């Protein structure tokens, strides 16, 4: 299964030492050029930069229609806009992103979305982690924005 990811889940998973969940759960991960620039080039020395630069399971792909990206820049940042367009162009099974505006727009366009918390629940359901709560707590300790509603929903879905 191939998915497209935005930068925030990559950074968040790197900060809590769970980036390897991505290839275990999805196989191929595509990221647009803007996400690579943000995480690897501009984020040199930060969480995820070196790991993603060396990840064999990660593919960087340029969007085919930069005009569509330009249009989305009125409401989204470049990484989100490119991720959304790339997910459509590549007919990705899922788009991994956390930002509310981008998630709403992706759903309106018929793109299935999963966030970082949902990914952790999926990892538990597939036997790649024993518990979600410590991982959610680690995200919060690393300044990841997570509403109490999403936190509680993730725990309920994980049976915790």
**pLDDT at position 79 over 70:** yes
Give residue 114's pLDDT band: very low, low, confident or very high (50, 70, 90).
Answer: very high
pLDDT in tens, 93-108: 999 999 999 999 999 9
Positive or negative: CA dihedral 22, 25, 29, 35: negative
For residue 28, the domain's CATH number is: 3.40.50.1010
* pLDDT on residue 67: 93
How many angstroms separate the Cα of 111 from the Cα of each of 5, 85, 93, 122? Answer: 12, 10, 8, 18
Number of domains in the chain: 1
If you search the block for the tokens 């929903």, which residue do you land on?
153
Helix, coil or strand: residue 117: helix
The pTM score is: 0.89
The boundaries of the domain holding residue 104 are: 2-158
Q: Is the distance from CB of 2 to CB of 89 less than 8 angstroms? A: no
pLDDT for res 40: 80
pLDDT band at 31 (very low <50, low <70, confident <90, very high): very high
Rounded Cα–Cα distance for residues 147 and 69 (Å):
28
**DSSP β-bridge partners for residue 154:** none
Query: Alpha-carbon torsion 16, 149, 93, 119, what sign?
Result: positive
CA distances from 22 to 14, 30, 101, 106 (A): 11, 11, 23, 20
């Amino acid at each position: 299964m191939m998915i497209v990811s935005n930068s925030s889940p990559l950074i968040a998973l790197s900060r809590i030492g769970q980036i390897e969940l991505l290839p275990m759960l999805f196989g191929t991960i595509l990221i647009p050029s803007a996400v690579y620039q943000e995480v690897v080039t501009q984020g040199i020395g930060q969480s995820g930069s070196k790991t993603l630069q060396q990840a064999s399971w990660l593919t960087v792909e340029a969007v085919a229609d930069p005009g569509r990206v330009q249009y989305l820049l009125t409401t989204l940042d470049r990484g989100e806009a490119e991720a959304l367009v790339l997910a459509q162009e590549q007919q990705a099974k899922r788009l991994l992103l956390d930002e509310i505006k981008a998630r709403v727009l992706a759903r309106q366009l018929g793109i299935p979305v999963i966030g970082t918390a949902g990914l952790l629940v999926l990892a538990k359901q597939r036997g790649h982690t024993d518990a979600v709560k410590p991982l959610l707590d680690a995200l919060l300790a690393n300044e990841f924005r997570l509403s109490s509603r999403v936190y509680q929903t993730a725990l309920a879905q994980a049976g915790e």
